[in-house]
Amino acid sequence: MIIVARDGSGDYTSVQAAVDAVKGGGRAPAILLVRKGTYHERVIVDKDNLRIVGEDPEETIITNSACAKDPTPGGGARGTFLSFTVIVTGRNVEIENLTIRNDAGDGRDVGQAVALFAAGDRGVYRGCRLIAHQDTLFTGPMMPDVAAEIEPRTGSAECKPACNECDETYSRLYFEDCLIRGDIDFIFGSYRCWFERCTLYMNERGGYYTAANTPRTQPYGYVFHRCRLTGECADGAAYLGRPWRKYARTLFLDCEMDACVAPEGFTDWDENRRVTDRCGEYGTTGARANQAARHPEQKRLTAQEAMRVTIPEVIGGWDNWRPDLRVPTWFMCGDSTMANYPAERSPMAGWGQMLQSLLTENVYIENCAINGRSSKSFIDERWLENISACLRPGDRLIVSFSHNDEKADPARHTDPHGSFPEYLDMYIDAAQKAGAEAILATPIARRRFNEQGQLTATHGEYPDALRRLAEKRGVRLIDLEKATMRLFQEEGIEGTKKIFCHLPVGMRNYPDGAADDSHMQLDGATRVAALFLERLEHPEITDGEMTGVREEYDCSALIDREDSVVER
């Protein structure tokens, strides 16, 4: 997770710098969390498989003031498509809970001023506020002048020689619970788009909610489902749309329309661009539910026709894309035994690092575990706060601490009978508040054998504190301490050297060798991850009583590299 914060408390102070830092290439999308604040910048999102989350939709704002009438160095004008505040050229980009605004002003003074230029395929926008005046949201391909302007950040988006008469487009977009505000043609373009439970808000000037540019051979353009059309203009001053191209395809299904909507619904653009039966509505409610005065060519869909207009039909495509069925994320909270390790630390690995490769179901892993952290320091450094901003219903918050809570360091130490369960309660509360599931996991055992060859338990009373809390709060517990003690005892003193980082002298990344009894190699981390998933899927599995001897250790003196922090 990358944190953007204007006050310097995150990884970057600008959104563009954070986007540029994303490496990508993983199965799960990279997460970029933008903290509250107003970011005065122009942002080009050219990375694929990226999730940008605002801390608060009304207080996390990206804004710019470019407009079509801005002069260029060559003496011309900037034009509509170079006036954007944010352009998305990457594929599989999800933006949620933030405001994208163009503050250039009234279109009568400045011309078009785009807030969001959504050009990448499979773009998802949830809970966003898109605000401008004329031409707020463009949903279509780049043109050569745009590609030249943003080079080398052109990403994987479509590019067409011209926009108003382009060939069929393949890209699809999904908008859910968004506020989209403007006046003249403020949702316009050629892509196939589904708008679910969005609010379309007309400015005082009045105008046209949409201006679709659907190519002739493309079966769908815009579909608005269960949306609300409202605004502050005079009654009847807001038209459903006008066809930017004569084959414009725009449908309103089960939408609520206030009195500001024109009784005619759609209107012609000019003599050549007239309303056809590719524009229509069904199930309208509100002040403009009566369709008696609608444009004579506008389609009134039957119930059977409306039933066939579905998300899979409109934007599903060849890859059966279902953005309405959100892929859950498992957020991992823990220490170095769970954390991700960079290539220069290989073969050392945390068990959380190996989960994604073992999962066959459609789940994303966001491993936020950090070396040297305890349940207390993880919260003190605001990591639980960061994760909470990204948690959604259906997600999981997997929590496993103890190694560093045991240490005497006051910045990390917790009491297993007091502050340890109190801090863990905060994780459970955060998950439940978001509608996510909290799962507690006891810590993995250390490689500590006594003289009789028996594995010894070194975590004191912390695992029992986790067990008691899980029972008290009614949350799931994965008992990794018991599971790993059983595994390590079976492997024995020599066998566990292949699980933990016992490495020979001269090995790459470890020229002096290593004898680490707390941190695992790749194969060991994979085996522990498999133990976790097996017990998650089959809660009936029990590991019985621990066979080892419980001993008390001065954990602050353990040489286990817990304090070696890997840069994130």
In the predicted model, is pLDDT for residue 426 greater than 60?
yes
From the list 521, 421, 428, the residue with the least C-alpha distance to 462 is 421
Note the pTM of the prediction, 2 decimals.
Answer: 0.92
Note the pLDDT of residue 541.
74
Note the pLDDT of residue 555.
45
pLDDT one-digit tens code per residue, 218-233: 999 999 999 999 999 9
CATH topology of domain 329-557: Rossmann fold (3.40.50)
From the list 157, 210, 163, the residue with the least C-alpha distance to 190 is 163
Q: What percent of the chain has pLDDT over 70?
A: 95
Note the pLDDT of residue 166.
67
Note the pLDDT of residue 284.
96
Note the pLDDT of residue 26.
78
Beta-bridge mates of residue 252: 224, 281
Note the pLDDT of residue 444.
96
* Mean pLDDT value across residues 44-58: 96
* Mean pLDDT value across residues 239-245: 95
DSSP line for 66-100: --TT-B-TTSSB--GGG--SEEE-SSSEEEES-EE
Note the pLDDT of residue 310.
97
Tokens 């373009």 found at = 189
Could you tell me if 334 and 355 are in contact, meaning their C-beta atoms sit under 8 angstroms apart? no
Note the pLDDT of residue 559.
40
Note the pLDDT of residue 549.
56
In the predicted model, is pLDDT for residue 87 greater than 80?
yes
Separation of alpha carbons 265 and 267, rounded Å: 7
Q: How far is CA 81 from CA 143, 154, 159, 426, in A?
A: 8, 14, 13, 46
In the predicted model, is pLDDT for residue 43 greater than 50?
yes
Note the pLDDT of residue 24.
74
What's at 21, amino acid-wise? A
Note the pLDDT of residue 450.
93
Give the chain's mean pLDDT.
93
pLDDT one-digit tens code per residue, 541-556: 777 665 555 555 444 4
Report the CATH number of the 56-316 domain: 2.160.20.10
Q: How far is CA 263 from CA 241, 243, 299, in A?
A: 12, 17, 14
For 387, left (φ over 0), alpha (ψ -120 to 50), or beta?
Answer: alpha
Tokens 């309660």 found at = 425
In the predicted model, is pLDDT for residue 245 greater than 70?
yes
From the list 509, 484, 479, the residue with the least C-alpha distance to 499 is 484
- CATH 3.40.50.1110 placement within the chain: 329-557
Tokens 């994130």 found at = 568
Note the pLDDT of residue 328.
96
In the predicted model, is pLDDT for residue 561 greater than 50?
no
Q: What percent of the chain has pLDDT over 90?
A: 88
In terms of pLDDT, which residue wins out, 247 or 25? 247
Note the pLDDT of residue 565.
41
Separation of alpha carbons 377 and 390, rounded Å: 20
Instruction: Give the pLDDT band (50/70/90) at residue 140.
Output: very high
Separation of alpha carbons 568 and 371, rounded Å: 10
Separation of alpha carbons 49 and 38, rounded Å: 25
pLDDT one-digit tens code per residue, 266-310: 999 999 999 999 999 999 999 999 888 999 999 999 999 999 999
Instruction: Give the pLDDT band (50/70/90) at residue 446.
Output: very high
* Mean pLDDT value across residues 462-490: 96
Instruction: Give the pLDDT band (50/70/90) at residue 27.
Output: confident
- CATH 2.160.20.10 placement within the chain: 56-316
Instruction: Give the pLDDT band (50/70/90) at residue 165.
Output: low
Q: Which of 121-125, 161-165, 371-375, 558-562 is least confident?
A: 558-562
Q: Which helix (DSSP H) or strand (DSSP E) does residue 471 occupy?
A: helix 462-473
Instruction: Give the pLDDT band (50/70/90) at residue 497.
Output: very high
pLDDT one-digit tens code per residue, 195-221: 999 999 999 999 999 999 999 999 999
